[in-house]
Chains A and B, each alone.
Chain A
C-alpha cells in the first residue's frame, strides 16, 4: 500500500528517465527490448502509450496506469476511502485493488486486474512486454449468422475472399485459448468454420462457404459480441462490404434442347403432397476422383424413384408428394466434368405430384441412392460414380518450386499412432507406428534442411491422443499440418497404393492433397489411389484433420497388407522418396498464388 509520499527518490528519477527514454523509443516505433527496465503493455494487438510508463516491481509484478482498463471496455474510479481503485469491467466484473500513485497516476498491478477482467496475460521477459488478449469464449454459428463472444470488447475486421469463397473475421488482441478450433456449421451455405491464431495477437475465424453468401456486420466496431449476419443463399442482405458477384449464371454458350420431361409448377390445391415434405437444398460435392455426391436435403421421408433419360443424358430423381422450398435454387450450374447442371422442379404424373431433381450429364454413369437422416428430415444422396481415369492433377514433370518458399514456414509433422497403439499390423508383423515414425523423421529432416521450422507430434514411441495432435499444431502456430499413416485392408494383397486425405469438402486442403499425391506418386514407386475426403471413411472425418485450422492432409503411404507396398515402405530409400514427394507437393501448394 505505498502512497505517493513514500515513493523513493531514486525510483522517481528512474521513472522520469525511463519514461523519457521509453517515450522516445516508442515514438520511434522500436520495441524497447534494450531499454533496461521499461515495460511495454500491448492491448488489442497495439502497444499502449502512457504518460507514465508501466514498470516492474522488484518481485516482478508489472504495474501500469489504470487507464489501460479503458482499452478493455472497463472503467475505474478511486474508491471512497481513497486507498484503492475500483475497477468495473464490461463483463460485470468488479474488483478493488491497491494502487501506487506515480506522478498523479493510479498505477495498479496489471496481471491481477487484467485477469479479473477476462484477459489472458502473456509476459515476454526478453522484450519486457506484457500482452493482454481477450479470450474467445464461444464461436457460434446458426441460421442467422456467426457470433463470436469474447471476454471483453475488442476491435475486429470482416473481409471476404474468393477462390474459394470465404469470409474472414480477424479479432485483434485475442487469444484462441481453449475454444474449439472448428465449429460445426449449421447454415446450409457454410461448409466449414475454422479458427486459428494468425499471430500472437490476432485470431482469425474463417468461414468457408459453399456458395456466394452475402454478409453484413451486425455489431459495433468495439464489442465483446461480434455478429456477422449471413443470409442462407446467394442473395446479399441489406448491406454488403463489397459489390457481390452475381449469383449462379446459367450456362452454356451453345443452346441445348429443352428436356422432354415437363417441369410445371404445382397448383396450390394439389392433393397428393405429403404435408410439408419439401426439397430444401441441392448440393454437388466432389468426394474423390471416383465419387461425386449430390445431396438432396428434404424435410422428411418419401418414396423416391430414379430414372435415366437420354438425348440429352439426364438422371432424374423423383420424390413423391414433395414440393420445393422457396429457398431452393431451381438451377445450379457446376464445373464438374460429368454433371453439368442440376435443375429442380415439380412434376405431375399419373395424378401424383413429384419433386424432381434432374442432373444434366455429359454421359450416363453408374450411380446409386442412399439416404441419411438429418436434423430437418432426410437427406437423399445420389452417389455418382465418375470414372477414375488418369491421376488427379497435371503430369508431374514440372520442376519443383524453389525450396526457399519454405523459409519461415512452420510445419507440424504427425507420425500416426505410437506407444501402446501400434496402428495396423501388416505382413510379417510390421507395425504401422514404426513406419510412420521413420517416414516422419525423414520428412522432418528434409523440411528443416530447407529452412522450415518443423515440429513433430512425437519423436519417439509415445502416443499423443488424437485431439492433442492438432492442438500441438495450433499451439506451435503451424502453417501446415501433415499426418503420416499407412493403411491396411485385411486380406493379403487385396489393395495397394497411396492415398492422401483432406477434411470434408475443404477445397484448399483438397488442393494441398492433390499437389502431394502427384509428387509422391512420381517418386515412390507405389501406385497412387488419388485424394479422398476423410468423410468417406467416417462421419466426422479424421480427428487430426478435423481439429486442424491450418491446411492439413493425412498421407496413407501404402497398404501394409500388400506385399509390394510393404516391402517398399520398409526400404529407407523409398521412405526418403516419399518424404521428398511430400515436400515437393507442399512447395507446389505454397507456390500456388494465395497460399503463402
Chain B
C-alpha cells in the first residue's frame, strides 16, 4: 500500500468520525443518544491497521427493548489503551451495568485479521447464560454492534474457551462467523476506509 498524504489524512479523520458520529438515531428505539459535534482532526499520524482510538461506544439493551431490529442503545466509553480499541470496547461491554452478557464472562482475547475478529470468551460466557431469545439476541447483537464501529472488522467469530459453540442459549447459531452490525455512520466510515485501503 502506498502511503500518500491524502490517505494519511483520510485515515486520520476516521477514528474521530467513529467516536463522534451520532450513531443510532435511525434505530427504532425511542431513546436516542445525544448528538455530538465533530472535533478538529488530530495532529499525529495514526499507527498500525487500527488507528489509536480514545473513545468509542458500547451497545446495551434499552430497558424496554424487545430485541427486534438490533435495537440497542449506544453508551460512550473511554478506552484506556487506545491502540487496542476492540478489546477495550468488549471489556467495557462485559463490565457495563445492564450488560446483556452473562455474569462472570471474561474476554480472553481478540484477534483481528483480514476483517475477521476472532473473539474468545471464558466458559462462563455460555455456562452462566440463561435467557430467552430476546436476551440471547441482545447479547450477541451487542457484541456485533460494538465491534461494528471499527471499520477494519467486517465479521466476528465468537469462541468460548477457544472453541466454536453451536449457540449461546439455544436459539441462534453462532458457530460460523457473523456479520457485524453497523449504524449508518459506521457503515459510511467502513465504506470510506475500505475504499481507501484498495488504492
Contacts and interface: CB of A to CB of B under 8 A. Distances in A.
A295 interface: no
Contacts of B188: 301, 371
Nearest to A420: B127
Contact of A560 (B67, B132, B182, B184): B132
A547 to B, nearest CB: 8
Interface in B55-101: 61, 63-69
B181 to A, nearest CB: 8
A6 B78 CA distance: 89
A230 B67 CA distance: 37
Interface stretch (A39-47, A133-141, A315-323, A534-542): A534-542
A470 B180 CA distance: 26
A485 B69 CA distance: 20
A485 B132 CA distance: 8
Given A300-B191, A424-B131, A491-B64, A539 B179 contact: yes
Contacts of A369: 26, 184
Contacts of B68: 291, 532, 536-537
Contact of A538 (B127, B132, B172): B172
Nearest to A463: B170
A303 to B, nearest CB: 9
Contacts of B192: 301
Contact of B131 (A488, A491, A536): A488
A370 B182 CA distance: 9
B165 to A, nearest CB: 9
Interface residues of A, number: 47
B140 interface: yes
Nearest to A422: B130
B124 to A, nearest CB: 13
Contact of A489 (B27, B65, B170, B182): B65
Contact of B137 (A416, A538, A546): A538
Interface in A346-380: 368-373, 377-378
A217 B65 CA distance: 48
A421 interface: yes
A404 interface: no
B132 A423 contact: yes
Contact of A467 (B64, B137, B173, B178): B173
A556 interface: yes
A421 B170 contact: yes
Residue among B26, B141, B175 with most chain A CB within 10 A: B26
B182 A371 contact: yes
A425 interface: yes
Interface string B149-187: 000001000000000001101111101001101111001
A373 B172 contact: no
Given A373-B191, A486-B132, A466 B173 contact: yes
A445 interface: no
A368 B172 CA distance: 26
A418 to B, nearest CB: 8
A371 B25 CA distance: 12
Contact of B133 (A300, A422, A542, A546): A542
Contact of A383 (B28, B66, B181, B184): B28
A538 B179 CA distance: 11
Contacts of B63: 490-491, 494
Contacts of B26: 368-370
B7 to A, nearest CB: 18
A432 B132 contact: yes
Contacts of B127: 420
Contacts of A432: 132
B190 interface: yes
Contacts of A495: 64, 66
A374 B66 CA distance: 25
Contact of A370 (B27, B135, B190, B195): B27
Interface string A45-75: 0000000000000000000000000000000
B114 to A, nearest CB: 15
B182 A537 contact: no
B173 A301 contact: no
B170 A466 contact: yes
A82 B178 CA distance: 59
Contacts of A463: 170
Interface in B114-144: 127, 130-135, 137, 140-141
Interface in A203-257: none
A487 interface: yes
A158 B8 CA distance: 56
Contacts of B182: 371-373
B135 A424 contact: yes
A133 B170 CA distance: 34
A531 to B, nearest CB: 13
A19 B85 CA distance: 78
B184 A494 contact: no
Interface string B103-115: 0000000000000
B133 A543 contact: no
A270 interface: no
Contacts of B69: 291, 383, 536
Contact of B132 (A301, A368, A488): A488
B133 A378 contact: no
Contacts of B184: 369-371
Contacts of A373: 154, 179, 182, 187, 190-191
A565 to B, nearest CB: 12
Given A420-B127, A487-B133, 11 more contacts: A300-B195, A373-B190, A424-B131, A432-B132, A466-B166, A466-B167, A486-B132, A495-B66, A538-B171, A539-B179, A543-B173
20 contacts: A301-B188, A368-B27, A373-B190, A378-B187, A416-B171, A423-B131, A465-B167, A467-B166, A485-B171, A488-B131, A489-B65, A490-B63, A490-B65, A495-B64, A536-B69, A537-B67, A538-B141, A538-B172, A540-B172, A541-B172
Interface of B: 26-28, 61, 63-69, 127, 130-135, 137, 140-141, 154, 166-167, 169-173, 175, 178-179, 181-184, 187-188, 190-192, 195
Top-4 shortest CB links A-B? A301-B191, A424-B132, A488-B132, A543-B173
Interface of A: 291, 300-301, 368-373, 377-378, 383, 385, 416-417, 420-425, 432, 463, 465-467, 485-491, 494-495, 532, 536-543, 546, 556, 560
